[in-house]
Amino acid sequence: MKKILVIGLMLILAAGLFANGTGEQASQVKQGGKVFNIYCWNTEFQDRFNKFFASKVPADVKVNWVITPNQGNAYQNKLDEVLLNQAKAAADERIDLFLVEADYALKYVDTPYTLDVVKNVGLKTADLANQFQYTKDIMTDTKGALKGVTWQACPAGFMYRRSLMKEVIGTDVPAQVQAALNSWDKFDAVAAQAKAKGYFMVSGYDDMFRVFSDNMTHKWVENNKIVIDPQIEKWIDQTKTYTDKGYNNKTGLWSADWSAQMGKNGKVMGYFGPGWFIDFVLKPNSKADANGPDAVGNGTFGDWAFTKGPQGFSWGGTWICAAAGSDNLALAKDVMMTLTVDTATLKAVATQLGDFTNNVKAMEEIANSSYSYDFLGGQNHISVFLDSAKSIKRNNISPYDQGMTEKLQNSFADYFNGVVTKDKAWENFYKAVLELYPNLKK
């Protein structure tokens, strides 16, 4: 089915049914539709939309959320299927906005399905001046058109349990903890100390993956050939060592056991992640009472802190794209302006939710202020994020990143557990990837 959808998508693009990305088709669609269709894969954007924008939606417009999980390319499959039928769909059934992640953003950037944010949607270049440059570079097509915008920048680091870190190394002060974790050798040494006291340095096999993958010098695919960067080999070797020595809890990313370790009875020292990870993953899983207050005393709320860790990296990012054929471009523009441009909104998202938002001046103001985040024990984590955000390049991404990541992690879980050899894990990886992407070669 996936191969059929991809081939169909390519044929329609070749036929130029969307006017080669000029937005001519979009301009012929009657605007002011009564259903605003948004396609995404989880509730993160929906939460921010509801909190910071929903009150601006016209009373006679219904917002329709179509949420399909990302795993196994399910969201991309759904999105491709609907985009293939966009031109002939009834106006109120057409996609208005859809979201893409860094792992596959390039798949949609150089297609006529995404509208030029400036030329077609109506944002001005000056509106976008304060956004971090890398967030625009990723969504700029080969003709120089910006095809999507985001409310977040995603510098990342190591989020640790204060009480556990203090027990293991004698301090929970972020600057002192960073000094103890500022290289992989030091990180490994603290992992050994943690193990001696009955704790795990990280929760599972995939926790360190993004640190290494973000620092790759090669793309996963170059000239249709699969490339294995040395950073991936380092992740495999380090994760095998951590598994064999008992430094991790042998869990898989996003699993129930992985999440449970964020709670009061957790034995995991910390998790690698960016700003969105704090609000969308760590905070809800830390609470003993899911319906209780966001306050110290409810689970591990307040017992966390953030530091850069052994190696700088970034993770993810979600971009908002306006779909060609939308009959709600004015509303799409308002969403983009409010959630990715408006300084007051972006400051509120950062201070209220802990996310690191896509506005250089806003983040500089918060970093240099007396702001403190209660979930992180009163730390101003924005100041830690800021330098990393300014240095993000993200020139190593490809349209295949989600599939490559999932197949690699799935294939090597058996190796980490001692079920298969390393060579067999590689064999399984290549088999799975070439079934998903038959146009590639080993």
Query: Is residue 218 scored above 70 in pLDDT?
Result: yes
Domains 2-153+316-364 and 155-315+368-391 belong to one CATH topology? yes
% the chain with pLDDT above 70:
93
Q: Which two tokens stand for residue 113?
A: 């399905």
Query: Is residue 274 scored above 80 in pLDDT?
Result: yes
Give per-residue pLDDT as tens, 38-64.
999 999 999 999 999 999 999 999 999
305-309: average pLDDT: 96
How far apart are alpha carbons 103 and 406 in whole angstroms?
11
DSSP string, 324-340: TT-S-HHHHHHHHIIII
Report residue 325's pLDDT band, with 50, 70 and 90 as the boundaries.
very high
Query: 311, 294, 323: which is closest to 99 by C-alpha?
Result: 323
58-83: average pLDDT: 95
How far apart are alpha carbons 54 and 58 in whole angstroms?
9
Taking the CA atoms of 177, 289, 291 and 249 in sequence, report the sign of the dihedral they define. positive
| Neighbouring C-alpha atoms within 13 Å toward the C-beta of 201 | 28
How far apart are alpha carbons 236 and 32 in whole angstroms?
52
The fold of 155-315+368-391 is: D-Maltodextrin-Binding Protein; domain 2 (3.40.190)
Query: Is residue 13 scored above 60 in pLDDT?
Result: no
pLDDT averaged over the chain?
92
352-373: average pLDDT: 95
Q: Which residue has the higher pLDDT, 226 or 387?
A: 226
Q: What is the pLDDT of residue 28?
A: 53
Phi-psi region of 392 (alpha: psi -120 to 50; beta: other; left: phi over 0): beta
pTM of structure? 0.89
Q: Is 63:38 a contact under the CB 8 Å cutoff? A: yes
Give per-residue pLDDT as tens, 373-392.
999 999 999 999 988 888 88
248-251 vs 270-274, strand pairing mode? unpaired
Q: Is 85:292 a contact under the CB 8 Å cutoff? A: no
DSSP state letter for 216: -
Report residue 8's pLDDT band, with 50, 70 and 90 as the boundaries.
very low
What is the architecture of the domain spanning 2-153+316-364? 3-Layer(aba) Sandwich (3.40)
CA 8 to chain centre: 28
Q: What is the pLDDT of residue 16?
A: 40
Q: What is the pLDDT of residue 215?
A: 94
Give per-residue pLDDT as tens, 169-188.
999 999 999 999 999 999 99
% the chain with pLDDT above 90:
89
How far apart are alpha carbons 221 and 200 in whole angstroms?
34
Q: Which two tokens stand for residue 209?
A: 């993956």
How far apart are alpha carbons 62 and 34 in whole angstroms?
6
Query: Is residue 316 scored above 70 in pLDDT?
Result: yes
24-42: average pLDDT: 80
Taking the CB of residue 15, how many other CB atoms lie within 10 A of it? 8
**How much is the CA Rg of the chain, to the nearest whole Å?**
22
